[in-house]
Amino acid sequence: MLCEPSVLRVRIAVRRCTIEDGTAVRSSATGGVVSGPERRRGRDPRTRVSVAVVVAVVVAVSALWGAGVASDGPVPRPGGGAVVPAQHQSSTTGPDDDAAPGPDTLRELLAAMTGSATADPLDLAPGSLLVDREGEDDLTLSWALLDTDDGRWTGSADAATTRFEAESTIKAWLAADTLRAAAQAGRPVTAAQRADISAAVRASDDDAAERLYRALGRDASTARLDEECGVEVSTSRPGWWSYTQIAALDAARILACVRDRAPEWPGGDALLADLDAVTPDGRSGVRPALPGVVAEKNGWTLHGAAGWNVHCVLVWADRALAVLTTYPAERGVEYGWAVCRDVAGDVLSAS
């Protein structure tokens, strides 16, 4: 049986990737089922963050494991998720000693489903790869994973359409645009500008970001994202950088653009060093799980009774990940960081 990627919906769960105390660990593929409530509000997000990956597919499982039975359409997913057996079991005579072993990893499962030996989660249509926190009560969650080399991406179904206030994630662009302006004018970045860039990026200093924003012509700077990075943004409140409206895919593309373009401009290397050294209060906890040099710029704002916006954006190697969230005020900022870690763990397990 061959399934088109556009109709696949894969629920992440059997393989675990744990982000705990700044360390990423992968365990064996034989983990069993972890139910949704384990990740819900009753759990302290500051303790151990575990990502479980239960593979539940909307195609007949027997067809995936070589049973030879074609499926005419999707089958209902069991309420508690499905445990995928290590190898195909005969429905009438018990274990089949001659049966080929089933997929051991999510990538192998995707390959079996798509008929491709090199199936890549980035080839799945948005909304096909479901992370465990999706559907959580009163949580608006949108995420995108981008290949920074070829532009392929996947993510939540609304990754390119649902817009959020950018919050402090946009500071990375304000810093980069300051470097661009200096290069265009044929002058070096001033010491004052350099200090503001470092403060805005590393410490997420609002006053420093405001000075950069005003010097760049306010919304004229965010409008330049279209020309410089191919990302068209809007604003819900002109004259306020934090109200720049972006989708998860926009956020991933913007930080990837900053990372890739910065070396062209004076002070670019220093900006990249800033993005790899944000202060502890601005870290989501995802950074230690990623290899090599990482660009990270997060945003977090409590909008009174409207609740929290907590956004995490990271770029490393040839990948960019953006996780954008909105949720009730009483859950606190740590809840948002935990969501970012959980989504990142799920996505890393699938990649």
Mean predicted confidence (pLDDT) in 310-315: 99
Q: Which residue has the higher pLDDT, 82 or 316?
A: 316
Confidence of residue 19 (pLDDT cuts 50, 70, 90): low
Contact partners, residue 87, CB within 8 Å, separation at least 6: 65, 95, 99, 100, 101, 102
What integer best gives the mean pLDDT of the chain? Answer: 78
Using only the alpha carbons of the chain, give its radius of gyration: 22
The band of 120, judged by pLDDT with boundaries at 50, 70 and 90, is: confident
Position 59 scores a pLDDT of: 33
Whether 172 contacts 221, CB under 8 Å:
no
CATH class for the region spanning 164-350: alpha beta
Specify burial of residue 110 (Cβ count, 10 A radius: 0-12, 13-18, 19+): buried
| Domain range annotation of the chain | 5-135, 164-350
The pTM score is: 0.72
